[in-house]
Amino acid sequence: MIIGVLNLTLIIPSSNSLKDKRQVVKSIKDRLRNKFNISVAEVGEKEKWQAAHLAVVIVNDDKKYLETVLNEVIHFVEGERNVYVEDIATEIL
């Protein structure tokens, strides 16, 4: 069993309140779960209006597959109009 972990720090410049931020983050999390069948959670920056920290986890027995999926997740989030990816950290355990 191999575990892939991806940490993303996002900036949401259009957010003017926590409610705005939560709508954007929830939409991204739901679409990531549906598209990639991964676990995703907001794990930091919960009280900041324009920042979010997401953790993505996927488990498989093929390291190459994990790397491919995590890279696709990065490209998907980078393609979002409402957010900018400030920091990316990937780890394969």
Closest to 40 measured CA to CA, from 72, 80, 78, 8: 8
Q: What is the pLDDT along the chain (93 residues), one digit of tens a residue?
A: 999 999 999 999 999 999 999 999 999 999 999 999 999 999 988 889 999 999 999 999 999 999 999 999 999 999 999 899 999 999 999
Q: Which two tokens stand for residue 5?
A: 């972990």
* Cβ(62)–Cβ(2) below 8 Å: yes
Domain boundaries, the chain: 2-92
Domain range 2-92, CATH class: alpha beta
Q: How many residues does the chain have?
A: 93
